[in-house]
Amino acid sequence: LNQVRARCHEMSRSNASNNQEHHTQEMGLQWLIMRRGESFTIQLHFNRCFHSGNDYIIFVAERDEPAPAQDKVHLKGNVWSASDFTIHANSLFVSLFTPANAVMGPYTLKMEISQGPGHSTTHPLGTFILEILLQEYIMMDYVFVYNGHERVITPWPWNYRQFEEDMIDICFQILNKSLYFLENPTKDYSQWNNVVYVCRVVSAMINGNDDSGVLQESWREDYSPGVSPLEWMGSVLVPMLFFSLVMRCLGVPTRVVSNFHSAHNVDANLTIDTYYDQHAEMLPTQKRDKIWNFHVWNECWMIQKDLPPGYNGWQVLDPTPQQTSSGLFHCGPASVKAIREGKVHLPYNTPFVYAEVNADEVVWLLEDGQAQELLAHIISSIRKEISTKMVGSDQSQNITSSYKYPEVAWGSREERSVFMKASWKMLGPWKAPLPFLDLLGSGGFEDQLAQLQLYLTRKAEWGQDLLPKLNAGSLADRAQPQGPICLVMHFCAQTLLHDGGTWEPLWRQIVHLTLDFGEETQWLLLLPYNNYRNKLMDEKLICVSGIAKVEETGRSMLVLKDISLGPPRLSTEVSERAEVGKALRVHILFTNTLSVALSHCTMVLEGNQITHKHLGTLVARHTIQIQLDLYPHQSRTPPAASPHQQQQIKIIKGYKYIFVAAGRAS
- Say if residue 361 carries a ligand binding annotation: no
Contact status, residue 41 vs residue 105, Cβ threshold 8 Å = no
| DSSP 8-state code for residue 445 | -
Which residue, among 599, 566, 596, 592, has the nearest Cα to 466 in the 3D structure? 566
Distance CA 350, CA 331 (A): 9
Interatomic CA distance for residues 592 and 575, integer angstroms: 23
407 is in an annotated binding site: yes
Phi-psi sector, 636: left (phi>0), alpha (psi -120 to 50), beta: beta
Does an H or E element contain 651, and which? Answer: none
**d(Cα 539, Cα 183) in Å, to the nearest integer?**
42
Residues forming a β-bridge with 370:
367
CB neighbours of residue 244 within 10 Å:
30
| Whether 535 contacts 527, CB under 8 Å | no
Tell me which DSSP letter residue 466 carries. B
Q: Are 485 and 550 contacting, i.e. CB atoms less than 8 angstroms apart? A: yes
Q: 488: buried, middle or exposed (CB in 10 Å: 19+, 13-18, 0-12)?
A: middle
* d(C-alpha 140, C-alpha 249), whole Å: 11
Cα 537 to the chain's mean position, in Å?
21
Query: What is the rounded distance in angstroms from the CA atom of residue 270 to the CA atom of residue 356?
Result: 9
Ramachandran bin of 317, using left for φ above 0, alpha for ψ from -120 to 50, beta for the remaining angles:
beta
CA separation for the pair 596, 573 (Å, rounded): 26
CB 277 within 8 A of CB 366: yes
Distance CA 627, CA 309 (A): 56
Q: Which of 642, 652, 658 is nearest to 604 (CA)?
A: 642
Annotated binding site for Ca(2+): 358, 360, 407, 415
Annotated binding site: 358, 360, 407, 415
